[in-house]
């Protein structure tokens, strides 16, 4: 396993982050335990979840599974950097969502109970909050840090301007502020190259890409379809919309002798701004196969060919669209 510091802070995490959104949903509990045990054996020390994961079977189910896994002991809790998220609706009440101090405190306590732990290592805002002022958000987070219930705060799905706002407000309070940003980022979806990645670099945030394979689109979707494996209606629509690009992409991967999924992960890992893509294995085999991405070196020529197949927004703002 390879490791990297999470942005500007001293915390070191594995270059692959174990995403747990499938645990308790498409993956049953015994298999979930096996995946987490194997992740530890492989050196993955970065686990990501959220308070809502487990839906539609039930909000919080994934955190509960992780909590029962941690409760087995064996030093599991001390071996991982545990990240979870809050903001999205957790009930029918008017205050059961958002980033008010009320909701932050409520959801932190609820996640701690479900996870059966006394602290969360990385507490992430699942989306930008446009109603609660930053003074309220940071004051609530400061209290949780002082109480030892969380160690660091991260963001998810923020724009570059939101990161700047958050950090400047934190700086005024002499608070560490954000240490990471979790964004959608993959070969097909590269919008964050305009503003978010430059903001992460400027403020020292580690970048944690979610959906690194575009919901399966970059994981050999054409080949799997040819083998008779059914895609979801949403993925099938994406395949048809990007068929010519997928043909070129999978042909390049075949030329390299590598699985498309691993090439997609390797492309993210080559970016110095990226700390750890989030992988969401449904089986132990999928988890083990992902480690091949750490061994792939993409030449400048291959990177240019990937850019030609999956062009980004043209670089950073404003040069991407103005002289």
- CB count within 10 Å of CB 45 equals 19
Residue with tokens 């096996």: 34
The verdict on residue 72 lying in a domain is yes
The verdict on residue 308 lying in a domain is no
**So what's the pLDDT on residue 122?**
98
The verdict on residue 106 lying in a domain is yes
Q: What is the DSSP letter of 133?
A: -
The verdict on residue 310 lying in a domain is no
Say how far apart CA 176 and CA 141 lie, in whole Å. 10
Domain count, the chain: 1
The verdict on residue 322 lying in a domain is no
Say how far apart CA 219 and CA 232 lie, in whole Å. 14
Answer for the pair 52, 87: CB distance below 8 angstroms, yes or no. no
Q: Can you give the CATH number for the domain in which 153 is found?
A: 3.20.20.100
**So what's the pLDDT on residue 223?**
86
The verdict on residue 68 lying in a domain is yes
Residue 233 reports pLDDT greater than 90? no
For 7-40, what is each residue's pLDDT tens digit? Answer: 999 999 999 999 999 999 899 999 999 999 999 9
The verdict on residue 250 lying in a domain is no
For 85-95, what is each residue's pLDDT tens digit? Answer: 999 999 999 99
- Helix 300-309 × helix 243-256 angle, to 10°: 160
For 130-153, what is each residue's pLDDT tens digit? Answer: 999 999 999 999 999 999 999 999
- Name the active-site residue from 3, 53, 152, 249: 53
Domain span holding position 46: 3-220+259-299
For 271-286, what is each residue's pLDDT tens digit? Answer: 999 999 999 999 999 9
Quick check: is 3 catalytic? no
Say how far apart CA 283 and CA 296 lie, in whole Å. 22
Say how far apart CA 28 and CA 26 lie, in whole Å. 7
The verdict on residue 92 lying in a domain is yes
């Amino acid at each position: 396993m390879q490791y990297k510091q999470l942005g500007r802070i001293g915390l070191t995490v594995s270059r692959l982050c174990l995403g747990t959104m499938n645990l308790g949903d498409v993956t049953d509990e015994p298999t979930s335990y096996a995946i987490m045990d194997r992740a530890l054996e492989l050196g993955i020390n970065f686990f990501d979840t959220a308070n809502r994961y487990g839906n539609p079977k039930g909000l919080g189910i994934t955190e509960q599974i992780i909590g029962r896994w941690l409760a087995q002991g064996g030093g599991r809790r001390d071996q991982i950097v545990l990240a979870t998220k809050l903001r999205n609706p957790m009930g029918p009440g008017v205050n059961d969502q958002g980033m008010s101090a009320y909701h932050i405190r409520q959801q932190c306590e609820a996640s701690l109970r479900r996870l059966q732990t006394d602290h969360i290592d990385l507490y992430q805002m699942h989306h930008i909050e446009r109603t609660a002022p930053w003074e309220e958000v940071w004051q609530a987070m400061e209290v949780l840090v002082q109480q030892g219930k969380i160690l660091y705060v991260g963001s998810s799905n923020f724009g570059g301007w939101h990161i700047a706002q958050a950090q400047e407000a934190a700086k005024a309070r002499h608070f560490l502020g954000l240490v990471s940003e979790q964004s959608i980022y993959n070969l097909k979806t590269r919008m964050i190259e305009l503003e978010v990645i430059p903001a992460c670099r400027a403020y020292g945030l580690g970048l944690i890409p979610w959906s690194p394979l575009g919901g399966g689109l970059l994981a050999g979707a054409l080949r799997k379809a040819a083998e008779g494996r059914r895609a979801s209606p949403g993925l099938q629509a994406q395949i048809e919309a990007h068929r010519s690009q997928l043909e070129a992409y999978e042909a390049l991967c075949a030329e390299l002798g590598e699985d498309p999924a691993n090439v997609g992960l390797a492309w993210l890992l080559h970016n110095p701004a990226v700390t750890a893509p989030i992988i969401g294995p449904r089986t132990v085999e999928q988890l083990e196969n992902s480690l091949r991405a750490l061994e792939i070196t993409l030449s400048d020529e291959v990177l240019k060919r990937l850019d030609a197949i999956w062009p980004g927004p043209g670089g950073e703002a404003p040069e991407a669209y103005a002289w």
